Amino acid sequence: MKAFVYKGPGKKALEDRPVPDVKAPTDATVKIIKTTICGTDLHILEGDVPTCTPGRILGHEGVGIVEKTGPGVTAFHQGDHVLISCISACGKCEYCRRGMYSHCTTGGWILGNTIDGTQAEYVRIPHADTSLYPIPPGADEEALVMLSDILPTGFECGVLNGRVEPGATVAIVGAGPIGLAALLTAQFYSPAEIIMIDLDDNRLEVARRFGATQTVNSKDGKAAEKVKALTAGRGADTAIEAVGLPATFLLCEDLVAPGGIIANVGVHGTKVDLHLERLWSENIAITTRLVDTVTTPMLLKTVQSKKIDPKLLITHRFKLDKILDAYETFGHAASTGALKVIIEA
């Protein structure tokens, strides 16, 4: 089968690989229909994710059809259409029982990281019963690819951890797919203002269409002052960091209102300063989270009922044998306007 393989920092290739088989009784293999590329895959290619070693098939998102199940799999059968979660979960360990699937002792974020992933014709899914979701008949499978990772990430790490409330002011730093997913799902709670901050005017324009009430281009380094000006000097009740850089976390420290929450979503590769000398008296909270995908069934219902339309995030489509072009397009979002690229296997 064809598979997209990480070959070490800065190196990648489309290779021929054997079709995976089930290994454990609780495994299933899935024939991929559609997958996509995540910002985290770009981090891996840059060598920022040491757990992912050269030779790994990347990808942790997708929809497909169950090909084969181990004897321990009871919830899925050959031919079932399934959504693949970016987080694999046994459902039984202490963390899983607490709903913290991201820290499953035999799972978590392993797909396309420590085991081969979804950017291939087939993938092996461990703990299939609790890591796959059935796709309802008639559902738009392309839209559901957005449910493998980005919608639960924006919602759980940004909106839920940031405790977005009716009438609140939310600032989202980073209008990439994750920031936009937070923007879409923050609106479940009717905040009064959602201020979107990015360097890319094209993405800020998209954010307006997705429901941002204000947009701020932070190129001039004055985003915090602008947010304060838009909020009568208070700042944001919820500041969602959806970039993963020291500068954008510091911006959240600067624009959070007294009593507010900084909800970090970004994957950080370098040290970030925490200015407690300014923040100690501001009654703020800071949260961090690796997505648990515990809200996936709920989000699936909101997509089915058209409360949110994640298909709006899809800008480009490629066949699997053109995945190197897909990476080019996705990796140069500022010039290509790419948000999510769909790859058809």
Ligand X SMILES: NC(=O)c1ccc[n+]([C@@H]2O[C@H](COP(=O)([O-])OP(=O)(O)OC[C@H]3O[C@@H](n4cnc5c(N)ncnc54)[C@H](O)[C@@H]3O)[C@@H](O)[C@H]2O)c1
Shortest distance, CB of residue 301 to ligand X, whole angstroms? 22
Q: Token digits for 286? A: 């800071």
Q: Which of residues 93-122 bind Zn ion (CB under 5 A)?
A: 93, 96, 104
| Beta carbon nearer to ligand X, 77 or 219 | 219
Q: Which of residues 66-125 bind ligand X (CB under 6 A)?
A: none
Instruction: Give CA 110 to chain center in angstroms.
Output: 14
The Cα 22–Cα 68 span in angstroms is 7
Q: Token digits for 18? A: 């054997």
Please calculate the CA angle 159-296-52 and round it to the nearest 5 degrees. 90
Shortest distance, CB of residue 174 to ligand X, whole angstroms? 4
Candidate segments 66-74, 123-131, 184-192, 283-291, binder of ligand X by CB under 6 A? 283-291
Q: Which of residues 221-280 bind ligand X (CB under 6 A)?
A: 242-245, 247-248, 265-267
241-276 as b/e: b if 16+ CB within 10 A: bbbbbeebbbbbbbbbbeebbbbbbbebeeebeeee
45, 146, 157, 196: residue in contact with ligand X (rule CB under 6 A):
157
DSSP E strands in 59-147: the ranges are: 62-69, 81-84, 122-125, 132-134
| Beta carbon nearer to Zn ion, 67 or 149 | 149
30, 90, 196, 256: residue in contact with Zn ion (rule CB under 5 A):
90
Q: Residue 148 binds which one of ligand X, Zn ion, none, with CB within 5 to 8 A depending on kind?
A: none
Q: Residue 178 binds which one of ligand X, Zn ion, none, with CB within 5 to 8 A depending on kind?
A: ligand X
Q: Residue 200 binds which one of Zn ion, ligand X, none, with CB within 5 to 8 A depending on kind?
A: ligand X
Closest-by-Cβ residue to ligand X is: 176
340 membership: H or E segment, kind and range: strand 340-344
The Cα 35–Cα 341 span in angstroms is 9
Task: Count other C-beta atoms under 10 Å from residue 324's C-beta.
Answer: 13
Shortest distance, CB of residue 1 to ligand X, whole angstroms? 26
The Cα 115–Cα 270 span in angstroms is 25
Q: Is 41 in the site for ligand X (CB under 6 A)?
A: no
Q: Which residue stretches of the chain are H helix?
A: 39-45, 94-97, 128-131, 141-144, 150-152, 177-186, 201-209, 223-230, 246-255, 276-279, 296-304, 323-331, 333-336
Q: Residue 85 binds which one of ligand X, Zn ion, none, with CB within 5 to 8 A depending on kind?
A: none
Which residues contribute to the site for Zn ion (CB under 5 A)? 38, 40, 90, 93, 96, 104, 149
Which residues contribute to the site for ligand X (CB under 6 A)? 38-40, 43, 149, 153, 157, 173-179, 197-200, 203, 218, 242-245, 247-248, 265-267, 289-291
